[in-house]
Amino acid sequence: MNYEASKQLTDVRFKRLVGVQRTTFEEMLAVLKTAYQLKHAKGGRKP
pLDDT in tens, 1-47: 788 898 899 999 999 999 999 999 999 999 999 999 998 888 777 77
Q: Are the C-beta atoms of residues 5 and 13 closer than 8 Å to each other?
A: no
Handedness of CA 12, 16, 9, 36 (dihedral sign): positive
Any domain includes 47: no
CA 46 – CA 36 distance, rounded (Å): 20
Residue 17 inside a domain? The answer is yes
Domain contains 4:
no
| pLDDT reported for residue 15 | 94
- In 3-state terms, what secondary structure has residue 1? coil
Q: How many domains, in total, are found in the chain?
A: 1
Residue 32: partners with Cβ closer than 8 Å, 6 or more residues away = none
pLDDT at residue 6, rounded to an integer: 86
Domain range for 20 is 9-40
With respect to residue 46, please indicate whether it lies within any of the assigned structural domains: no
